[in-house]
Structure 1
Amino acid sequence: MNEAAAETRSVVIEREVAFPPEKIWRALTQPHLIEEWLMKSDFKPQVDHSFSFRADWGAVDCKVLEVEANRTLSYTWEAYGLESVVTWTLTPTATGTSLRMEQSGFRADQNQAYHGARAGWNAFLTKLEDVLAHTE
């Protein structure tokens, strides 16, 4: 295998969100809120916790890698041959939070998954902002 074949790509989405990190953190870590903007899950913010996201099209197998409350959340994301890592980073700003989502690990032959993730995460983050606007 040559060097280029081993390289992977990441989907990175960054948004300024007009809510404090604590509120976003709840939406990223509480299953009833996660379900409103992403998918059904049995997520727990505990390192090494294995969980899944479930949707009509299937499921994603995940495992929590890192939890730093209101700052960083990272978990594996494995589905249909894709082995990747999703990392959320929350940085407080004067007007709310800088929210960064990175999904890393797309191989060169996973163009469809890569482009699907780019579109999917943009839609998910828009729904996340809607959920934030409607929850206490």
Structure 2
Amino acid sequence: MTSTNHHDTPRVQMTPDQWRQRLTDQEFKVLREAATEAPFTGEYTSTTTEGVYRCRACGAELFRSTEKFESHCGWPSFFSPLAEDRVRYITDTSLPGMPRTEVRCAACDSHLGHVFSGEGYDTPTDLRYCINSVCLTLEPTGR
């Protein structure tokens, strides 16, 4: 089922059972239960292919390859989303003494990863969107 939020981003709403039918076990654990894939194991960690990264759960466009950079952290890193209305942020206090900012898909509310600031990367925003590969699909451009 799809509805619209206040940013006019189409919203995808499904029951947990519907998500389980649509996603693999690993995709469900990360996207719907906020787990994390192991570092340096994801298919997009070192990818340099030009294109658009979409939410694996709902297909929403989230990031562009032009904002992807090598951070050597073990997960794909981006310095900004495609547009601010494509993601939403939640304060994550699941690790004691280490509050983080969780990044979710604005369209389907799937967990994507976390965003960190002030790490000193040479990027225009000084932000690192640390995103699980399993949360993304890459649609190559310029073929």
Please report the TM-score for the alignment, with normalisation by the length of structure 1. 0.28
**Which structure has the higher relative contact order (CA within 8 Å, separation 6+)?**
1
Higher normalized helix content (fraction of residues):
1
Higher normalized strand content (fraction of residues):
1
